[in-house]
């Protein structure tokens, strides 16, 4: 295939392919700093929190002037540094982040989720269909674990009751989460659940059935840190 046009628009409002990659590259740098120098990372939080939109914008604009080769090389170098940091970090550490502190295992899952979600934007922009694999289980896991956060992030009280997930994996098996006796249930496609909790598809476009109070959650589900996302409009 010919190299993709980095200026191709994606479904993320105002972002092209280069912008999506720039965001991933910039966040890799921040994630590496959290693991290698957590005090320095925490020291940046007040400044970043005071202008989160400006911070995210600079991740993109600071890389727009790079030639294609330099852009890709810089992204690869940052990703390699991220992997090296994961190899050395104490597995019992609590890593600071823009949401609650996380263990390295949860931190790695969050990076996988971010890459998958923004990768979906790139795939949609380029008209590419990705083949889902068992790695989606990482996204399902973090989607389930962030149920309470989805409520708190919007100033709402999380439900006291558990929710049961029964999701059909790409290989046809079933992945389950939550108590088997819960009346709040979500059943359907694991891929579509991932697309919904990362807010890459509108609720009406996914093959998911909700019962009890689970529908309320699906309307606000958000697996990533940051302010409440608006979700995607129906295509």
Q: How many residues does the chain have?
A: 235
pLDDT of 2 over the 70 cut? no
Distance CA 125, CA 141 (A): 26
For 129-177, what is each residue's pLDDT tens digit?
A: 999 999 999 999 999 999 999 999 999 999 999 999 999 999 999 999 9
Indicate the domain borders of the chain. 17-126, 136-220
8 A C-beta contact, residue 194 and residue 140: yes
CATH architecture of 136-220: 2-Layer Sandwich (3.30)
pLDDT of 213 over the 60 cut? yes
For 103-129, what is each residue's pLDDT tens digit?
A: 999 999 999 999 999 999 999 999 999
Beta strands per DSSP E along 62-173: 164-168
Q: Distances from the Cα of 131 to the Cαs of 17, 136, 138, 195, in angstroms?
A: 19, 11, 16, 13
Give residue 1's pLDDT.
52
pTM: 0.93
- pLDDT band with cut points at 50, 70 and 90 for residue 233: confident
Mean pLDDT throughout 73-100? Answer: 95
Q: Distances from the Cα of 166 to the Cαs of 128, 132, 179, 183, 185, in angstroms?
A: 28, 17, 11, 13, 8
């Amino acid at each position: 295939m010919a190299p993709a046009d980095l200026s191709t628009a994606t479904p993320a409002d105002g972002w092209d392919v280069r912008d999506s990659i720039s965001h991933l590259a910039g966040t890799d740098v921040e994630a590496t700093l959290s693991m290698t120098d957590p005090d320095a990372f925490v020291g940046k939080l007040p400044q970043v929190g005071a202008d989160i939109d400006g911070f995210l914008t600079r991740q993109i604009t600071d890389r727009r002037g790079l030639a294609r080769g330099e852009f890709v090389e810089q992204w690869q170098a940052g990703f390699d540094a991220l992997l090296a940091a994961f190899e050395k970090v104490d597995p019992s550490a609590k890593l600071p982040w823009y949401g609650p502190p996380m263990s390295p295992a949860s931190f790695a899952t969050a990076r996988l989720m971010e890459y998958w979600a923004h990768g979906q934007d790139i795939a949609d922009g380029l008209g590419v269909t990705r083949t889902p694999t068992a790695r989606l289980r990482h996204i399902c896991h973090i989607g389930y674990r962030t149920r309470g956060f989805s409520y708190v992030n919007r100033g709402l009280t999380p439900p006291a009751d558990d929710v049961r997930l029964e999701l059909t994996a790409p290989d046809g098996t079933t992945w389950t989460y939550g108590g088997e006796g819960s009346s709040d249930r979500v059943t359907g496609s694991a891929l579509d659940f991932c697309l919904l909790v990362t807010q890459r598809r509108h609720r009406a476009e996914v093959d998911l059935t909700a019962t009890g109070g689970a529908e309320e959650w699906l309307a606000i589900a958000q697996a990533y840190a940051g302010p409440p996302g608006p979700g995607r409009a129906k295509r």
